């Protein structure tokens, strides 16, 4: 065998030396190796994990906004201030990097870093649920494994969107990510284009790490789950009062609580309050004039709590809507909103739209 040829032995390539090429036909080096069965990447140490029951008990969870610096990177000082305001007003948990937090506009490195930052700074005061879902099962597994490794208390998992799969595929997708820790399933057909049928949720409820479901398909669905003792959070701010007090929802995963956490606390934690619910509806309806989080981003900028920086393709609401927000703050009462600055009318040129970051 000629010099430079390799043979396979003991799991690695072994070169053959000191053989003359003279008088022999040259043979191409072999580079093939047999693949051994991969070892599991596991640890037997007891993790500082959160019991599923602690996630199930949460009632008011905020889908927290991610603010940006002028170059599009995270503004962690503004982010920390937003989290402090949530904790002060009694919010029990935050969703990090969800749709409201624009996880879809983050790299996975950014995503896991923000989860880790939130856990390290605030994990002792508020439950941190990381949105580690994906339409790729491989990515969802990897991100969820990383999220729990950096200490998040729970995961939010979406069903595969855009490149949709079958109903059976949805079930297998969720089963693939449930092994890592407490998991909330998120059903929002308006974004995914596919409803998660109740029989899938009812099947998953038998799994050890299944915490519950964030449901956006209305209060009849909420009632069905609550009657089976499945923890369910309303995903619709405009329906959450009735979901909580009339249909058995555990609580709400809220967008509006970014702005008025104290009022949302009263709405969900105290007692049935249809008058307050009606008072909040103009704000809630305004927030969802355009796809979330466009309204929220605009509102927080007008309140001076974040820089008016948008990661594209999100752009601010039109100026007429911005004028409406100033009036909504006055009507509802400035004292109920986060921060201490009056809502101002920002002009178009004051917003910065960032496409590269």
Point out the residues that are catalytic.
Answer: 186, 214
> 6-9 and 12-15 as β-strands: parallel, antiparallel, unpaired?
antiparallel
How far, in Å, CA of 259 to CA of 241, rounded?
A: 17
How far, in Å, CA of 291 to CA of 259, rounded?
A: 17
**E strand or H helix at 311:** strand 309-311
Nearby residues of 339 by Cβ (< 8 Å), 6 or more positions away: 85, 303, 304, 305
What number of other Cβ atoms are within 10 A of residue 110's Cβ? 16
Short-list 81, 78, 64, 62, CA closest to 308: 78
Nearby residues of 34 by Cβ (< 8 Å), 6 or more positions away: 8, 11
Contact predicate 230/223, CB 8 Å: no
């Amino acid at each position: 065998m000629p010099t430079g040829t390799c043979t396979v032995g003991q799991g690695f390539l072994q070169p053959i030396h000191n053989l003359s090429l003279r008088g022999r036909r040259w043979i191409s080096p072999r580079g093939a190796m047999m693949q051994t069965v991969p070892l599991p990447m596991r640890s037997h140490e007891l993790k500082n994990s959160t019991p599923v029951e602690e996630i199930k008990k949460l009632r008011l969870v905020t889908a927290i906004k991610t603010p940006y610096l002028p170059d599009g990177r995270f503004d962690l000082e503004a982010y920390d201030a937003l989290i402090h305001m949530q904790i002060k007003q009694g919010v029990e948990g935050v969703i990090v990097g969800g749709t409201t937090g624009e996880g879809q506009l983050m790299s996975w490195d950014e995503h896991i870093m923000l989860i880790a930052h939130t856990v390290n700074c605030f994990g002792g005061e508020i439950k941190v649920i990381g949105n580690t879902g994906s339409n790729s099962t491989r990515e969802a597994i990897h991100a969820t494994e990383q999220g729990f490794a950096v200490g998040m208390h729970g995961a939010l998992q979406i069903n595969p969107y855009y490149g949709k799969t079958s109903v059976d595929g949805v079930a297998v997708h969720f089963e693939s990510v449930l092994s890592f820790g407490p998991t909330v399933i998120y059903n929002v057909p308006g974004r995914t284009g596919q409803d998660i049928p109740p029989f899938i949720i009812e099947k998953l409820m038998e799994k050890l790490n299944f915490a519950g479901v964030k449901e956006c398909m209305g209060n009849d669905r909420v009632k069905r789950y609550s009657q089976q003792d499945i923890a369910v959070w309303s995903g619709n701010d405009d329906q959450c009062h009735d979901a909580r007090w009339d249909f058995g929802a555990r609580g709400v995963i809220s967008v509006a609580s970014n702005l008025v956490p104290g009022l949302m606390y009263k709405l969900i934690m105290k007692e049935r309050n249809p008058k307050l619910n009606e008072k909040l509806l103009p704000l809630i309806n305004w927030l969802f004039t355009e796809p979330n989080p466009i309204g929220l981003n605009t509102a927080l900028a007008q309140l001076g709590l974040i820089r008016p920086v948008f990661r594209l393709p999100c752009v601010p609401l039109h100026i007429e809507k911005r004028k409406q927000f100033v009036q909504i703050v006055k009507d509802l009462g400035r004292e109920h909103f986060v921060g201490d600055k009056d809502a101002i009318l920002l002009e178009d040129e004051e917003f910065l739209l960032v496409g590269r970051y």
